[in-house]
Structure 1
Amino acid sequence: MDHPDNPALPLDTDLFHAVNRPAAERRAASLVARRSIKGAHQAAWLLNAIACMDLTTLAGDDTPDRVRRLCGKARRPLADHIMAGLGLDDMPRTGAVCVYPTMVSAAVQALDGSGIPVASVATGFPAGLMPLDLRLAEIRYAVEQGAQEIDIVITRAHVLGGDWTALYDEIAAMKDACGAAHMKAILATGDLVTLSNVYAASIVAMQAGADFIKTSTGKEGVNATLPVGLTMCRAIRDHRAATGNIVGFKPAGGMKTAKDALNWQVLMREELGRDWLRPGLFRLGASSMLGDIERQLEHHVTGRYAASHRHALA
């Protein structure tokens, strides 16, 4: 998997700027309104969405058996008759499987030989309100268990109080604890109030070394929205223009349909370009979305919609 590493740089708040929310909302709405992807093109985009998906289970009643079933779905996300109808020989696979740290070992075993990486949330997910030394210890534990990607959560209070140095130092320490694992910084954008805060937090996270920036934990009242995604993608673009460094993007939370998968890919294509339509730079943090994608692909193959229970997640 081609993941560029984003090296840490000194904190520079001069790169911050205000974001016009109505303008961002109009731009996001226009992107998806003027794009209509149909037929074989839609099927191809949905297959790409599967390849960019972090298939996720983050429930309080997770068990090793549930994680193993999820990993089985990650290995074989489509039914054989859909594969045959699409004329595909090689089964697609998801971009990663994302679990809690205590479930990493089960996921690593279940995915052995598949080439699918295991991602783990850490740092007191979802609130992040734990002492920093404990959050760093949780990162190291997940990496020791075999996680290749770590999804960290930030202290929202640092953003809301404008304490950018504290935010930078925290994320930089987390990146160091990740070692060779790639780090995705969850900004919990639904808690950050303004798009200007979202932009500033994105810039700080990238300067501190985040390899991906991610919208949400999926546990906030508001999760991934297209205006937030637009703001974060523009921050990624500005960071690259200023530094030459490339950072990935992951929307997560609230995405349930194949249409959502298409809309987010349209945003990536229009704002960041084709390079960001691959798992090395783009992930969809979702689980229920996969069932609807499979249903839409079956309709493309057969001309009929199957009952949703025929496409259970795992």
Structure 2
Amino acid sequence: MPTTAPPPKPSAASERGGSPFADATASDSALRRFLHGLPGVDTVGLEARAASLGTRSIKTTAKAYAIDLAISMIDLTTLEGADTPGKVRALAAKAVNPDPLDRTTPRTAAVCVYPDMAQTAVAALSGSGVKVASVATAFPAGRAALDVKLADVRDAVAAGADEIDMVIDRGAFLSGRYLKVYEEIVAVKAECGSARLKVIFETGELSTYDNIRRASWLGMLAGADFIKTSTGKVATNATPANTLLMLEAVRDFREQTGVQVGVKPAGGIRTTKDAIKFLVLVNETAGEDWLDNHWFRFGASSLLNDLLMQRQKLSTGRYSGPDYVTVD
């Protein structure tokens, strides 16, 4: 089902090769009109489709492929006040070599840390191909002045972060100040330089599916490289339904603009069964182009251990003991 209103009539900007949605961000009222012109979400239909796709079963060979794919899509994450350089180095070692007893195990996509730990992660992952992602913009609440948020981003980029995970100002969004949110994302994107930008909506605080759809389009219009469900710090994080909704949005955005945007569900995805459900959502909704860690990620920590246990079960026919994987 399309998730966007018909594109606006061509403006002078679009006729010169600009975005077909350039006029939508020209003013606060224009942006509000566009976002509230998006079709309303059929809650029952969305949740029923997500549940139906979650019942799909896959056979052994496909399961082995899915497990390796899921491992390669993980942003292995530690975002705690008690983080230390030693913990970050240990996590980096696990990202590069998740299973020391099986060197065929894929590396994870990235290690995600706070900005003050980015330099440690960069040094530990040098030459590995594993990216360093850093949260920024006063994560997780986002309650700071814009200059403070931008300084946060600059620190992470200067430390060598390859990716920046920013949080939107949910208070501004929920009070209808869409242009403020848009302009903050644009400003953060400018500070990222070559680093890719993931925009976190904290879907558990947005209250409605309609708001999640609006936030998805707002983030993409502002230049997000990824749209991300959650910080993992609230009660409701990634769900099949809210991720399905965001996958529909990136699919339709590419159809309208030619620009591909990634999706990152984060928080609450802990088991191999969960991860495979999300991969089915990706394949059936956005398509195979998103089945790659350049376009789809899992924000997780405990998920990797279950994937490793299931991978070992497929290769040996038995489950390992509790000491087979490290406790992060």
Fold shared by both chains (TM-score > 0.5): yes
Quote the RMSD (CA, aligned, Å): 1.5
Q: Paired residue for 2:153, among 134, 139, 146?
A: 139
Counterpart of 1:67 in structure 2 is 88
Structure 2 residue 308 is the aligned partner of structure 1 residue 312: no
Q: Residue 305 of structure 1: CA displacement?
A: 1.3
Q: Secondary structure at the match of 2:236?
A: coil
Contact map agreement 2:110 2:131 (CA 8 A) in 1: yes
Counterpart residue number, 1:105: 119
1:60 alignment partner AA = G
Aligned residues: 300
How big is each residue's C-alpha offset from its partner over 1:136-156, in whole Å with a ceiling of 9 and x where there is no partner?
A: 100011000000100000000
1:78 is aligned with what amino acid? D
Question: Which residue number corresponds to residue 58 of structure 2?
Answer: 37
1:115-130 equivalent positions in 2, closer than 5 A: 115-130=129-144
239-248 vs 99-108, greater mean Cα deviation: 239-248
Q: How does 1:150-161 map to 2 (within 5 A)?
A: 150-161=164-175
* Percentage of pairs with the same residue: 48
Out of 67, 76, 80, the residue aligned to residue 55 of structure 1 is 76
Q: Unaligned 5+ residue runs, structure 2? A: 1-18, 26-30
Q: What is the CA-CA distance between 1:313 and the residue it aligns to? A: 4.2
| Structure 1 segments of 4+ aligned residues over 3 angstroms from their partners | 7-10
| Higher-Rg member (1/2) | 2
Deviation at 1:237, TM superposition (A): 1.4
Contact 1:17-1:200 within 8 A present in 2 as well: no
Partner letter of residue 61 of structure 1?
A
The CA deviation string for residues 45-94 of structure 1, in whole angstroms up to 9 with x for no partner, is 000111111011111100000000000000101242x45xxxx4xx4111
From 198, 206, 225, the counterpart of 1:192: 206
Partners of 2:326 and 2:274 lie apart in 1 by 18
Post-superposition CA distance 1:97-134 (Å, at most 9, x none): 10000000110000011011100000000000011110
Counterparts of 1:185 and 1:62 in 2: how far apart (Å)? 23
Q: Which runs of 5+ in 1 are unaligned?
A: 1-6
Whole-Å Cα distance in 1 between the matches of residues 143 and 215 of structure 2? 17
Tell me which residue corresponds to 1:4.
Answer: none
Q: How does 1:116-265 map to 2 (within 5 A)?
A: 116-265=130-279
- Alignment correspondent of 1:3: none
From 18, 21, 27, the equivalent of 2:49 is 27
The aligned amino acid for 1:299 is K
Structure 1 equivalent of residue 28 of structure 2: none
Which of 278, 299, 302 aligns to 2:292? It is 278
Letter in 1 for 2:173: V
Quote the Cα distance in structure 2 between the aligned partners of 1:313 and 1:117. Answer: 21
